Chain A
Amino acid sequence: MTLTTEPPSTPTPTSSDVFVAPGQPGSIVQVKARYENFIGGKWVPPVGGQYMANVSPVNGQAFCEVARSTAQDVELALDAAHAAKDAWGDSSLTERAAVLNAIADAIEANLEMLAVAETWENGKPVRETLAADLPLAVDHFRYFAGATRSLEGRSTEIDKDTIAYHFHEPLGVVGQIIPFNFPLLMAAWKIAPALAAGNCTVVKPASPTPWSILKLAEVIEDVVPPGVINIVTGPGAEIGKALATSPRIAKIGFTGETTTGRLIMQYAAENLIPSTVELGGKSPNIFFADVMDEDDEFLDKAIEGLVLYAFNKGEVCTCPSRALIHESIYDRFMERCLARIEKIRQGNPLDPATMIGPQVSSQQLEKIASYVDIGAQEGAECLIGGERSHLGGDLEGGYYFEPTVLRGHNEMRVFQEEIFGPVLAVTTFTDEADAVRIANDTLYGLGAGIWTRNGNLAYRMGRAIKAGRVWTNCYHLYPAGAAFGGYKISGVGRENHQMMLEHYSQTKNLLVSYSTKPLGFF
């Protein structure tokens, strides 16, 4: 995820620039031995008294404990949210926007600390958390502070004496389940619009990444009214289910895989409440021949555009994990791309020079390896990488995988399934129609990328691809204000845009007659 503006240039680092691991002497991040749930503005121990170890993927070592909550803890969080919802729902837009801006300010004031915490939690390079994850989270709260104040209800003059007024009213208490790939930014994507629309929320962070959002809660606990944001940690099968099935929520938001997405929608159907599900993709990144017409800055940008599959170690729903390259430039273009991929610096993500860190968990590492194996069985050619990285020393226990490129065809499973790792599947196309056919030959439709110097072609391709977001001559930009969501089985609903306020609101219609005349029926 990158910014809309150029990220600050990183000076050539020296060893002293490497951030000290959280909890170690000299670190800017304090780590407690144990973290409780954040409920009603307080730190509340889990009812069952159980905790679970939280592991950093950087070295595979547990570094703190978080609550292993049960359904009873979800109920406590719902109690707190319900106790807070009337006052929060009745608060003025001025007050609500002020709280959202105060959250943004608090995150910004602690940006470096939270960036390092996020890196330690998830494994993503600190150059990304400093320049993208945290600044985008800050901006997201500010965007929705503004969006909620600019959102207007509508009125319609049905006839001279009859007026339909439409008001936005909060839903009440919502449940939100956050993925592990952007623990803080995805939380911001969900929490900001829910709060802006006047709702209180119960948040369940992903099981591998429960801690950084608790550090966020420490930062904002003094500026958010008690009960407006509640965070409960624990296993999805237990507390995720308890939250999603609860008749006490008015909406459920979820990002994750398709089967749990179906479960979420099924549970929502049982309670007759709305759901938003974002379920991933297998995004094509399409390079037309004219990108190589000149050896210039644009070509350099396009090459980086292909290499962005390794961004956040490929753990992105919109990872451009299928590169479609015009056959006439394939050899020359891939030669340049592979040379760039060879230069990807893998290592300790707390080092600002590191470009790729560890996968979030051993499960993810194992899954990625299993996909490279399937690719080999299917006849894919491994152009680079393909193995677990062994970095030695303190990092040997971490979950590192080499940036990998597999060449094959679109029917292979490595072209059809989201691997969620730094694995690119690359193939060629013959012409525009072939590019559209291959791009759309997938179950998913979340993201896509188009690279060409021809604006007409870019527009036609952008409209022809069945995906919710088509990046044109760019990739991995996530500015607030650009709607994000899926076609096909990539999900239902949109995020990241003012329209979310509608998704987190009821529409109240007052149909008012200013006439004094009876209807005359009775």
Chain B
Amino acid sequence: MVPVEPTPGVVATEAALAAIEVLTHDRGPMMFFQSGGCCDGSLPICLGDGELIVGEHDVLVGHVGGCPFYIDHRQYEAWKHTQLILDVGEGEPEGFSLSAGEGRHFITRSRVFDDDELRAREPRASPEAVAHKPKLSRRS
């Protein structure tokens, strides 16, 4: 049986990768931490690598442009059915995050994993857990 390569938990757009390349060139290695809560809570916070002390229970979701991307373990539980897509948006960042270039900020977009991806990522997930198929629904 050919092992299924799990879909990565985090990927980056070309714009994000380009911004990371500039940042790491100018300032050295970077790290990302997915934030939560108030104000710019859902944004990824970009910091010099090691600026935030990574805790015992933080989850390393993956790497983007060579930089580690972490999330709080409790937040990971709520987010793990979605792939995080690091992108760049217009406007300066509002918190302690470094900017993604002049007048730009990093943003996390998301995509819901399909059943096959979820199975590959969590081989021990119960069939019930992956049987729930989200469907697009919108009242016009």
Which residues of A come within 8 Å of B, CB atoms?
A: 52, 179-181, 206-208, 235-237, 240-241, 255-263, 266, 278-281, 317, 361-364, 366-367, 370-371, 373-374, 376-383, 386, 411, 413, 416-420, 443-444, 489-490
Query: How distant is the Cα of A371 from the Cα of B90 in the complex, in angstroms?
Result: 17
Bound complex: CA A260 to CA B72 (Å): 13
A52 and B92 CA atoms in complex are apart in Å by 11
Contact A418–B36 (Cβ < 8 Å): yes
A4: shortest Cβ distance to chain B, in Å? 24
Residue of A nearest to B113 (CB): A377
- Cβ A259 vs Cβ B45 within 8 A: yes
Q: A236-B97, A257-B41, A370-B42 are in contact. List 6 more A-B contacts (CB 8 A).
A: A52-B92, A256-B37, A263-B51, A370-B109, A381-B139, A418-B38
Which residues 83-125 of B sit at the A interface, judged by CB distance below 8 A? 89-99, 105, 107-112
Given A260-B35, A443-B74, A207:B90 Cβ within 8 A: no
B35 touches A379 (CB 8 A): no
Give the residues in chain A near B39, CB-CB below 8 Å: 179-181, 206, 255-257, 280, 420
A260 engages B91 (CB within 8 Å): no
Nearest neighbor of A372 in chain B, beta-carbon distance:
B138
- Residues of chain A within 8 A (CB-CB) of B53 are 266
A237 and B98 in contact, given A376-B138, A377-B112 (Cβ under 8 angstroms): yes
**Shortest Cβ distance from residue A462 to the other chain B in the assembled complex, whole angstroms:** 23
In the complex, residue of chain A having the shortest beta-carbon distance to the beta carbon of B111: A377
Residues of A within 8 A of B97 (CB): 236-237
Contact present for B52 and A259 (CB under 8 Å): yes
Expressed in whole angstroms, the minimum distance between the Cβ of A507 and any Cβ of chain B is 29
Cα-based distance from A260 to B95 in the complex (angstroms): 7
Q: Are B36 and A180 in contact (CB under 8 A)?
A: no
Which applies to chain B's interface (DSSP): helix, strand, loop or mixed?
loop
The residue that B41 contacts in the complex, of A207, A263, A417, with Cβ under 8 A, is A417
- Cβ-based interface call for B7 (8 A): no
Does A370 lie within 8 Å of B40, measured CB to CB? Answer: no
20 A-B residue pairs with CB within 8 Å: A236-B95, A237-B99, A257-B40, A258-B72, A260-B45, A261-B37, A280-B38, A317-B38, A362-B91, A363-B89, A363-B107, A370-B107, A370-B108, A377-B82, A378-B112, A381-B137, A381-B138, A383-B139, A416-B79, A418-B37
Chain B residues whose C-beta falls within 8 Å of the C-beta of A281 in the assembled complex:
37-38
Interface pair A489/B72, CB less than 8 Å apart: yes
Residues of chain A with a CB closer than 8 A to B139's CB? 381-383
Partner of A257, one of B82, B95, B98: B95
What CA separation (Å) do A61 and B75 show in the bound complex?
A: 36
Residue among A240, A279, A363, A380 making CB contact with B105, cutoff 8 Å: A363
Distance, CA A281 to CA B45, complexed state (A): 18
A259 touches B105 (CB 8 A): no
Contacts of A371 in B (CB 8 A): 42
Q: Is the interface of A mostly helix, strand, loop or mixed?
A: mixed
B118-140 residues at the A interface, CB under 8 angstroms: 134-139
Residues of A within 8 A of B74 (CB): 443, 489
Interface residues of B (CB under 8 A from A): 33-43, 45, 47, 51-53, 72, 74-75, 78-79, 82, 89-99, 105, 107-112, 134-139
* B93 and A236 within 8 A (CB): yes
Smallest beta-carbon distance A47→chain B, Å = 20
Hey, which chain B residues are within 8 Å of A419, CB to CB?
A: 42
Chain A residues closer than 8 Å to B99, beta-carbon distance: 235, 237
User: When the two chains form their complex, are residues A366 and B89 in contact, meaning their CB atoms are under 8 A apart?
Assistant: yes
Query: Which of B91, B112, B139 has most chain A Cβ within 10 Å?
Result: B91
Partner of B37, one of A181, A376, A377, A490: A490
A370-B109, A370-B110, A443-B74 known; A413+B82 contact, CB < 8 A: yes
| Shortest Cβ distance from residue B108 to the other chain A in the assembled complex, whole angstroms | 8
CB distance from A412 to the nearest CB of B (A): 9
Q: Once bound together, how far apart are the Cα atoms of A370 and B36, in whole Å?
A: 15
Residues B43 and A361 in contact, CB atoms below 8 Å apart:
no
Q: How far is the CA of A493 from the CA of B107 in the complex (A)?
A: 29
Q: Which residues of A contact B43 (CB under 8 A)?
A: 257, 363, 367
Asked if residues A280 and B90 are in contact (CB atoms below 8 Å), the reply is no
B14 to chain A, nearest CB (A): 18
Chain B: CB-nearest residue to A410: B78
In the complex, the answer to whether B96 meets A278 with C-beta atoms within 8 Å is no
Cross-chain contact A236 with B94 (CB below 8 angstroms): yes
Given contacts A263-B52, A489-B37, contact A237 B93 (CB under 8 A): yes
Contacts of B41 on A, CB cut-off 8 Å?
257-258, 279-280, 417-418, 420
Question: Please, which residues of chain A bring their CB within 8 A of the CB of B36?
Answer: 257-259, 279-280, 417-418, 443, 489
Top 7 nearest A-B pairs by Cβ distance?
Answer: A280-B38, A280-B37, A259-B35, A379-B134, A257-B41, A416-B78, A259-B45
B110 contacts across to A, CB distance below 8 A: 370, 373-374, 377, 413
With both chains docked as a complex, state the minimum distance between the C-beta of A441 and any C-beta of chain B, in angstroms.
10
**Complex Cα gap A280–B37 (Å):** 5
Q: Give Cα A411–Cα B92 distance, bound, in whole angstroms.
A: 31
Tell whether, in the assembled complex, residue A279 and residue B38 are in contact, meaning their CB atoms are under 8 Å apart: yes
Q: Given the complex of chains A and B, what is the CA–CA distance between A464 and B97 in angstroms?
A: 36
**Shortest Cβ gap from A100 to chain B (Å):** 27
Min Cβ gap B45→A in Å is: 4
Smallest Cβ-Cβ distance to B94: which chain A residue: A207
Chain B residue at minimal CB-CB distance from A377: B112
Contacts of B52 in A (CB 8 A): 259, 262-263, 266
Alpha-carbon separation in the docked complex, A278 to B95 (Å): 14
Residues of B within 8 A of A207 (CB): 92-94
- In angstroms, Cα B78 to Cα A179, docked, is 25
Could you tell me the distance between the alpha carbons of A419 and B39 in the complex, rounded to whole angstroms? 9
* Set A241, A364, A374, A376: member contacting B137, Cβ < 8 A: A376
**With A363-B43, A363-B89, A443-B75 in contact, is A420–B38 under 8 Å at CB?**
yes
Instruction: Kindly list chain B residues whose C-beta atoms are within 8 Å of the C-beta of A381.
Output: 137-139
In the bound complex, CA of A129 to CA of B79 (Å): 36
Query: How distant is B39 from chain A, measured CB to nearest CB, in Å?
Result: 5
